[in-house]
Structure 1
Amino acid sequence: MRYLSRALLGLAVAGMFSTGAKAQEVVGNNQGDFNEFMDRSGNMYRAASGRPGPEYWQNETDYDIDVTLNDEDHTIQGKITLTYTNNSPHELDFIWMHLEQNRFTEDSRGTLTTPIQGNRYNGDIDGGYTISNLEAKVKRSSSSDYLINDTRMQVFFEDPIPANGGKATVSMNFEYKIPVDGMDRMGRLDVEDGTIYALAQWFPKAAVYDDVEGWNIEPYLGAGEFYLDYGDYDFKVTAPASHIVVASGELQNPRQVLSSTVRDRMDRAKESDSTVYLIKPDEVNDMSLRAKQEGTLTWHFKMENTRDVAFGSSKAFIWDAAKIDLPSGKKAMAQSAYPKESDGQGAWSRSTEYSKASVEHYSEKWFEYPYPVAVNVAADIGGMEYPGLNFCGWKSEGASLWGVTDHEFGHNWFPMIVGTNERRYAWMDEGFNTFINYYSTLDFNDGEYPARLNKTRNMTGWFTSEQREGIDTYPDVSNLRNLGMIAYYKPAIGLLLLREYILGEERFDNAFKSYIETWAYKHPQPADFFNHMENVSGENLSWFFKKWFYGTGNIDLGLDGVRQYEGNYIISLTNKGEIPMPVKMEITYEDGSSENVTLPVEIWQRGDSWNYLHRTDKSIENVELDPNKILPDVSSGNDAWPNSFYKD
């Protein structure tokens, strides 16, 4: 073969310099659309196959927390002990921690970058942390040195944390005023029977040190959410004895905080497919259902292998629950806590039913739910997720309550199980979650509520807007009017196109399930997702990932005409958009029969037009592109021959 190759090369060179050689016109092509657009090569930490490399590592953060909720001055006081395990190959002289309550100060970066007219991420400005008694220990060495800058704290060690498994502990006392307006993520709400406290971002927590960015220390501004390591949490919440406390994780001391009546009801709920009241609507102010009537109670929770925890506390809670059946045979418990203002069969009385259905669906279809509880808490928050616990709008009902409950529980898969960096890549949690929400909504009660993600052509007004932005725009930078599309709907539509138009359900599901299982409790980057989907599905998808996730171009496939040719037909196609796509078309014949034809995306590598020879002895009556209208094609007028029409 070597000799042959050299011979052919010699002929080619001779032809180039031959004066008698006929000049050849170089024809342009679209190969650039199909080339790689980012460095997706592998290394020792992240393989080119989209899997963790042989030396992949991530650090571990285990927390022991003890806090007291004061409902008179609306404060949290507590102590935290963080055990930090440095699995990286580097010694660490310091760690960075997030102080997200510092967002609620007058001079925080988040406050100063909020428009005068305000937005969803408004927050109180009279809060912020008071930190005291900090001690950072590595073996026998101890340090109290730290530096606070906005929502970040740098904690220094006298001796570095050793690499490859070295440990340190950081302990401190902390205190802050609980905001009323917590940027639609946490805060407090006054109702007739008391105050609902929605506690999230409620303790100092370690930032992520990874193999891609080193320390991930973007400040907490507003739209950008969270990026955290995994670990075990042991936490205690001391609250007024009149309160019910619900939280991420499993309650460790029910006998110390619940009456025998409530414990009996909880035991029934653990075996019940239908909702069981733990605290009935007419029992909200019945203090005999608490373990004691005065003073305080300390509620003790544990949660393993999680990236965060949250809790809700109030004396106004109606509380109900039901069991969750998981594919392995394990059980979990769905719970809902809400005030009487949210009660009603059309509203929060169905919350636990929704929660159970949502978690069971995702567990069966994608990956089993790993946590002992799934808690839905009514609060003055549109919808916000934490591992095992949501805060959802207390006025939501019907389809709205199903939608927000299902969406927030879906976040347990993205980013709680698959631990992406929300502050940088909102689309990897919001978009992926919006995608799986579509199928859960179709499944719930055989479609009780509408699922509209596949109505992609209803969104072409945004796709052609001059104000549109790319999916890769950082959430804190994007125009908030675009955030719903670039973080939620456009990436979700991208996955829909992959599943229902490009790859098909079987290949997509194999790849997507593998991605979830492979990166469960780890930190994938965008390139890891792209590489994994390609390798498992067996398809080069660079042309799609490049244009859809990292651009603002659009899809516009068209029919230029149909003509007879030697007893068959030539169907002339055109790609007038920036994004190449496979061509699916339905051909209908004069006798009323029809057939579907699919042409591969590679037809567009050679140019923007293509002639397809369709062999048939029947007479074609019409041809329609994308008959199921999956594509958000921005110009539907050229989708059919001989007449343009649109089928809903």
Structure 2
Amino acid sequence: MRKLLLGISLLIVACVSPIGGYAQNQPETNQPLFDEFTYRQGSAYRTASGKPGPSYWQNGADYIIEAEIDENTHVLKGKVTITYINNSPEELPFIWLHLEQNRFTPDSRGTLTTPIQGNRYNGDTDGGYEISNVRAQLTKRNSRVSTTYRITDTRMQVVLDEPIPAKGGQAIISMDFEFKVPQKGMDRMGRLGVKDGQIYALAQWYPKVAVFDDVVGWNIEPYLGAGEFYLGYGDFEYKVTVPYDHIVVGSGELLNPKEVLTRVQQERMSLAARSDTTVYIVRPDEVNKPEISRPKQEGKLTWHFSIKNARDIAFASSKAFIWDAAKIDLPSGKRAMAQSAYPIESDGKDAWGRSTEYSKASIEHYSARWYEYPYPVAVNVASDINGMEYPGLNFCSYTSKGESLWGVTDHEFGHNWFPMIVGTNERRYAWMDEGFNTFINHYSSLEFNNGEYGSNLNQTRRYLNWFSNPAREGIDTYPDVANTSNLGMIAYMKPAIGLLMLREYILEPDRFDYAFKSYIETWAYKHPQPNDFFNLMENVSGENLSWFWKSWFFGTENIDLAIDNVVPYGGNFVVMLSNKGGVPMPVLMEITYADGSTDRVKLPVEIWQRGNQWNYLHRTTKEVTKVVLDPDKILPDINLGNDSWPNRIYE
């Protein structure tokens, strides 16, 4: 051991004499890590500062929908009328729509690309749309009606006899549709049989317009499985006709409560709108007792809903629902309402009995911290779905309890900010909604009920096995082609850890929060691309972060900062550092002295532009006894053995 230490001491002397010469004579630089990695210059549509440009546009669509559920056949029949607004600078001879129920057929692309062993996105294959009475025409007087359309898998092209004029032209498209509601709907929708009846969780249930944007034109990727959705904004008015004994909850405001609720339920709803604690609208002992809980005793009821400036709608219907609610207080002084609908099997104070409490806390947190919640209700529905989000409504597992129920409820409601308010393309960039949402979930969980459940996102070194796995993939991998064993990391955890590092380590909270809130406010109800996010964060925070986006979001390299040694030098101390990984990082050190006091020193990331070694001269009159990198353990540094001095191997 003494011979080993003597050899190391001689090596140190050779390396640090002179210190300046060692730092300046690197054989090559790391400048390629810091170069721009993609075309991020501005245009008339999207500026270099990350904001919509002076000519930014997006198209819109307003929907009027009527639907009816047949409880005996599990068939939903409906009619949709879409008013499409073409704000683009070019005329459009056709419109593309998504027909996502066509995923549930034996020959759909999604079915044929599902592995034999299956995955989370398995679904029934005895469904699909029946489409009829298709009509399309411009809104101008005497325009010609077209009935021409083509269906390709989960896409439908409706061709007009006259193109929709640019810069404000409008067309109306209408059709009838029906499909069998799948029991297994790819863990996003479907139906569940419980003791008191069926729970219908209806999403991807109506033909909807694809996004036409300035980046790729029509966004018409097929609905396969892991890739979620990319949708425009508009106003929705929809009616759902169901058996008289059903309760229906949906995205948006219930417009006809007097027609579908008893007088007692209307009074309870009014009380809930003023209550901080949960109020029953349908009590557990009233479930499946229409003589108590329904305003009529036979036939059908039609529930009428409306939501403004939303990108989608979903609803749930069942005679098995317990239904409760409480008010949500918003920063502006406005109020919304948290609601939960769940069966007897999910009831309990350690289970769905707390769902509305969780929902209220989640919405209030995100509204206060990032951007105010825009919808009149926030509904949590118990179903046979592990967790899926839509504007103002979630489907979560009916078996979830305690911390699990809080986690899924909070995560799905967080999606109202990404991608419901900030309208990203989930089908291409899952990390821009799942990762950003996982990041904001961290802070809501730390705050909820004084940290009742907490969060472990900041325990980044729990994931080192994955970061060291040769089979890992980059964040930029399309979700539909990613290995399903990697999807949780590349869509959720790695981008969330990236934002955590950016806030807690690279920029620090004040600068990050100002920039991140600016991003949300700037792109609310619009369609940002990855470069828009990168550009805006840099411009608002005042930091060139190209090295970070390039290495963390578009690569598979890792962080490995190291202390090679600490040696006395001219009455001071030199900390000899190395960057052994492919992701450069600023270096935060905590230095401990012989008297027990400590200092923290942060070196900028630019030290690694010159190469992979750097000597830091720490001026002090005290004796240095210990140096630790990343003292708060924010970074998922893959080598825990070289981030402190003295290193145990030399002790």
TM-score of the aligned structures, taking structure 2 as reference length: 0.95
In structure 1, the partner of 2:284 is 281
Q: Distance in 2 between matches of 1:242 and 1:468?
A: 50
In structure 2, the partner of 1:623 is 627
Report the Cα offset of residue 644 of structure 1.
4.5
Q: Is the 8 A contact 2:26 2:610 kept in 1?
A: no
Query: Is the counterpart of residue 392 in structure 1 residue 396 in structure 2?
Result: yes
Name the amino acid aligned to 2:234: G
In structure 2, the partner of 1:98 is 98
Equivalent residue of 1:578, what SS? coil
In structure 2, the partner of 1:35 is 35
Q: Is the 8 A contact 1:109 1:221 kept in 2?
A: yes
Q: Distance in 2 between matches of 1:235 and 1:146?
A: 24
In structure 1, the partner of 2:144 is 141
- Residue by residue over 1:292-328, the C-alpha shift from the partner in whole angstroms, topping out at 9 and shown as x without a partner, is 1110000000000000000000000000000000000
- Residue by residue over 1:80-103, the C-alpha shift from the partner in whole angstroms, topping out at 9 and shown as x without a partner, is 000000000000000100000000
Correspondence 1:17-416 to 2 at 5 A: 27-138=27-138, 139=140, 140-287=143-290, 288-416=292-420
Q: Distance in 2 between matches of 1:450 and 1:511?
A: 25
Q: Is the 8 A contact 1:584 1:598 kept in 2?
A: yes
Q: Distance in 1 between matches of 2:208 and 2:297?
A: 34
Equivalent residue of 1:392, what SS? strand
In structure 2, the partner of 1:639 is 643
Query: Is the counterpart of residue 528 in structure 1 residue 505 in structure 2?
Result: no
Equivalent residue of 2:471, what SS? coil
Q: Distance in 1 between matches of 2:197 and 2:444?
A: 35
Equivalent residue of 2:345, what SS? helix
In structure 2, the partner of 1:581 is 585
Equivalent residue of 1:41, what SS? coil
Q: Distance in 1 between matches of 2:264 and 2:535?
A: 54
Q: Is the 8 A contact 1:638 1:644 kept in 2?
A: no
In structure 2, the partner of 1:566 is 570
Report the Cα offset of residue 472 of structure 1.
0.2
In structure 2, the partner of 1:474 is 478
Q: Distance in 1 between matches of 2:385 and 2:89?
A: 41
Bigger Cα displacement from structure 2, 26-35 vs 194-203? 26-35
Q: Distance in 2 between matches of 1:332 and 1:278?
A: 16
- Residue by residue over 1:541-593, the C-alpha shift from the partner in whole angstroms, topping out at 9 and shown as x without a partner, is 00000000000000000001011111001110000000100000000000010
Q: Is the 8 A contact 1:386 1:416 kept in 2?
A: yes
Report the Cα offset of residue 622 of structure 1.
0.6
In structure 2, the partner of 1:488 is 492
Correspondence 1:3-22 to 2 at 5 A: none
Equivalent residue of 2:341, what SS? strand
Q: Is the 8 A contact 1:284 1:318 kept in 2?
A: yes
- Number of aligned residue pairs: 622
- Residue by residue over 1:401-438, the C-alpha shift from the partner in whole angstroms, topping out at 9 and shown as x without a partner, is 00000000000000000000000000000000000000
- Residue by residue over 1:114-158, the C-alpha shift from the partner in whole angstroms, topping out at 9 and shown as x without a partner, is 111111000000000000000001132110000000000000000
Bigger Cα displacement from structure 2, 482-491 vs 136-145? 136-145
In structure 1, the partner of 2:9 is none
Equivalent residue of 2:610, what SS? coil
Name the amino acid aligned to 1:613: L
Q: Distance in 2 between matches of 1:133 and 1:438?
A: 48
Equivalent residue of 1:605, what SS? helix
In structure 2, the partner of 1:448 is 452
In structure 2, the partner of 1:6 is none
Q: Is the 8 A contact 1:381 1:391 kept in 2?
A: yes
In structure 2, the partner of 1:21 is none
Q: Distance in 1 between matches of 2:478 and 2:297?
A: 49
Q: Distance in 2 between matches of 1:309 and 1:238?
A: 16
Q: Is the 8 A contact 1:188 1:195 kept in 2?
A: yes
TM-score of the aligned structures, taking structure 1 as reference length: 0.95
Runs of 4+ in 1 over 4 A off after TM superposition: 24-27
Q: Is the 8 A contact 1:355 1:405 kept in 2?
A: yes
Q: Distance in 1 between matches of 2:26 and 2:49?
A: 36
- Residue by residue over 1:174-216, the C-alpha shift from the partner in whole angstroms, topping out at 9 and shown as x without a partner, is 0000000000000000001000000000000000000001000
Q: Is the 8 A contact 1:60 1:84 kept in 2?
A: yes
In structure 2, the partner of 1:463 is 467
Equivalent residue of 1:56, what SS? coil
Report the Cα offset of residue 286 of structure 1.
2.2
Q: Distance in 1 between matches of 2:131 and 2:590?
A: 67
In structure 2, the partner of 1:433 is 437
Equivalent residue of 2:67, what SS? strand
Q: Distance in 2 between matches of 1:240 and 1:618?
A: 80
Name the amino acid aligned to 2:413: F
In structure 1, the partner of 2:10 is none
Q: Distance in 2 between matches of 1:348 and 1:236?
A: 27
Report the Cα offset of residue 450 of structure 1.
3.0
Q: Distance in 1 between matches of 2:38 and 2:241?
A: 50
Q: Distance in 2 between matches of 1:160 and 1:456?
A: 53
Q: Distance in 2 between matches of 1:234 and 1:364?
A: 29
Q: Distance in 2 between matches of 1:643 and 1:554?
A: 21
Report the Cα offset of residue 41 of structure 1.
0.4
Name the amino acid aligned to 1:104: F
Report the Cα offset of residue 643 of structure 1.
2.6
Report the Cα offset of residue 610 of structure 1.
0.2
Report the Cα offset of residue 28 of structure 1.
1.8
Q: Distance in 1 between matches of 2:414 and 2:288?
A: 33
Q: Is the 8 A contact 2:473 2:482 kept in 1?
A: yes
Q: Distance in 2 between matches of 1:26 and 1:525?
A: 38
Name the amino acid aligned to 2:66: D
In structure 2, the partner of 1:539 is 543
Q: Is the 8 A contact 2:26 2:611 kept in 1?
A: no
Q: Distance in 2 between matches of 1:27 and 1:253?
A: 75
Percent identity over the alignment is 70
Q: Is the 8 A contact 1:378 1:391 kept in 2?
A: yes
Gaps of 5+ in 2: 1-23
Gaps of 5+ in 1: 1-23
Q: Is the 8 A contact 1:246 1:375 kept in 2?
A: yes
Q: Distance in 2 between matches of 1:295 and 1:622?
A: 78
Query: Is the counterpart of residue 514 in structure 1 residue 500 in structure 2?
Result: no
- The alignment's C-alpha RMSD in Å is 1.0
Query: Residue 597 of structure 1 is aligned with which of 595, 601, 606?
Result: 601
Q: Is the 8 A contact 1:249 1:388 kept in 2?
A: yes
Name the amino acid aligned to 2:183: V
Q: Is the 8 A contact 1:147 1:153 kept in 2?
A: yes
Q: Is the 8 A contact 1:587 1:624 kept in 2?
A: yes
